[in-house]
Amino acid sequence: MNGAMGFLDKLKNKAQKAKGRSKEEAGRQSGDPYLEAEGGKDRAAGGAKQVGEQAKDAAKETRRTFES
C-alpha cells in the first residue's frame, strides 16, 4: 500500500511541476506577471516535494541495506 501511495505522490508532484511550467509560459506569452509568478510558485512547490520523496526513498534504501 505504501509503495502505491509513494508512486501517486511522485506522479502528483510531477504534474504540479508541469502545470507550473505551463502557467509560467502562459504568463510570459500573455504578459501577465501574476500568472507567471503563480506558475513559478507551483513549479517550485512540486520540485520541493519531489526532493522530499527522493529523500524518503534514499532513507528506505539505506534501511533495507542495513537490515540485510
pLDDT digits (tens, 9 = 90+) for 15-59: 999 999 999 999 999 999 999 999 999 999 999 998 988 898 888
Element containing residue 32 per DSSP (H, E):
none
Nearest to 40 by CA among 20, 26, 13, 25: 20
DSSP string over 37-49: HHHHHHHHHHHHH
Whole-prediction pTM value? Answer: 0.72
pLDDT for the residue 38: 97
pLDDT for the residue 9: 87
